[in-house]
Structure 1
Amino acid sequence: MSPRIERTPPYMQVVQHFRKQIMDGSLKDGDRLPAVRQIAEDWNLAHATAAKVLSTLRGEGLAESLPGVGTIVRPRLHRGATDRALRMLSTGKIYAPNEYAVIKAAGLAPAPAWVAEVLDIEEGSQALRRERVTHDETGPISTSVSWFRAELAEMAPALLSTERIPGGTPSVIETATGRRTHIIDERKTVGTATPAQAEALGVEPGSPILVGRNTYRDAEGEPIEAGESLAGPGRWFSNRYEVTTP
């Protein structure tokens, strides 16, 4: 039975269908997408409209055309803090099936000024720091650091381990404290890679990088985590919003 198209432009319904499968890992890097003719038949679309589906996915950096093969999935994604948190809250898994993280460091460290401000602690005081590099089949996707108040070291000692935590750090914190992420604030800017950052991301020093900072807060607005992430060139950051009108 063909999927139903109920609202918004028909081609965007199909784009959203494939985008979701790519974002959640159901369609993996290298998987072949249906041909234009097949999309038109499956979704009852005109040929030109079906072609627009594939061109949109290519334009979003989620697919590419290969001569003699067709259009394949070729995501170059950097999943932001919002995407990962919502995935964890809805599925219990913070990473897509084709992704994994290597924890590079975990322990107490002096909080830099912006972290101290977010966590409402003194600058330079001890905070719990976790550093990771996230990979997929193509190599490093991003490097990120999460910061927490120092008292979590005793309440959730798993955060001090460099072993991966099933379900991610938010699940451990919720189990230990009962606090659940309710508000996510995420900001992005552009920077250039230092030698250490370039090595972690597999790029040349001085390469442009996408820099993100995020804050997770509970339902009362109290901070749970302050985080920073870096992604190299060619990685797409994607968010989707639906605007409703009265």
Structure 2
Amino acid sequence: MPTIERPDPPYVQIAKHIQGEILAGHLKDGDPVPSARKIMSTWNVAMATAAKALATLRADGLIRSKPGVGSVVQSKGSLHHSARDRVVSIHRTGKIYPPGHYAKIRSAELVPAPEMVADALGIEAGAPAVRRQRTTFTAEDTPVSTSVSWFTSEFARQAPLLLETGRIVQGTAKYVEERTGHAVAATYVQHAAGLASEEEAGELGIDVSSAVLMSRNRFLDAEGVVIEYGESTALPGHWVFYEYTNEER
């Protein structure tokens, strides 16, 4: 059934804009954010709307009040850029990670696909698939997440850098798009709390069975072809942000 799309309320649009600046690294930890009066002037909105936008960011844990300054960004150590976030970031800013963050590719190889991976990629269990493992670090060299990306062997033939441990400068998603023509059009994400395995604990520098955030991601093109299936593990206390719209039917 067709639905009427309605724009977000003004305060949500303002909050999303500032949130995007923080996630993209344009506003860094400790940087001041526009005051309610400045937002009111820039966006031509009422003071109540400007105040509500700041209250939304404060409730999301993205900003805090600082005496004598106003509201400042509090993102250091609290944000986790998921695989989905990196895809959005590369298209929005041309950058994969926030300033200072980087990833180390631990392995890149062709291995038999486990059953769950095979189901996600739409191939036979045991068929060869690309397994690409990485760990992401902050500017202070602190690991924040470790992940594994899976691709079909067909993509490996068209995009051979998937099987190399060197950094793909433009990001994996953009590289695959350039080499195969398959662009990410939709992302399906699952999250769950879990306990770190021995391998994950080693990568993240935590004790085995420590609490972690686990994610599964499927990236599809416009035709519904699964480009990538990923599994990631992140430290607790690192927020992932998603936006939802409730529509009247």
> Which stretch of the first structure deviates more once superposed, 134-143 or 185-194?
134-143
Look up the SS of the partner of 1:226 in the other structure: strand
- Tell me whether 1:32 sits opposite 2:35 in the alignment: no
Residue number in structure 2 paired with 1:62: 62
Superposed, 1:117-156 pairs within 5 Å as 117-137=119-139, 139-156=142-159
* Residue type at the aligned position of 2:166: E
- 1:223: how far off? 1.9
Q: CA RMSD in A?
A: 2.8
* Residue type at the aligned position of 1:235: H
Look up the SS of the partner of 1:61 in the other structure: coil
Residue number in structure 1 paired with 2:238: 235
- 1:8: how far off? 5.2
> Which stretch of the first structure deviates more once superposed, 11-20 or 126-135?
11-20
Contact preservation (8 Å) 2:81, 2:97: no
> Which stretch of the first structure deviates more once superposed, 190-199 or 227-236?
190-199
Unaligned runs of 5+ in 2: 1-6
Contact preservation (8 Å) 1:143, 1:200: yes
d(CA) in 2 for partners of 1:25, 1:67: 23
Unaligned runs of 5+ in 1: 1-6
d(CA) in 2 for partners of 1:213, 1:116: 14
> Which stretch of the first structure deviates more once superposed, 63-72 or 152-161?
63-72
* Residue type at the aligned position of 1:122: E
Residue number in structure 2 paired with 1:21: 21
d(CA) in 2 for partners of 1:181, 1:44: 35
- Tell me whether 1:191 sits opposite 2:197 in the alignment: no
> Which stretch of the first structure deviates more once superposed, 19-28 or 175-184?
175-184
Q: TM-score, normalised by structure 1?
A: 0.82
Specify which of 223, 227, 231 is matched with residue 224 of structure 1.
Answer: 227
- 1:67: how far off? 5.2
Residue number in structure 1 paired with 2:83: 81
Give the 3 Å change call, closer, same or farther, for CA 37–173 of structure 1 in structure 2.
Answer: closer
Identity in percent: 46
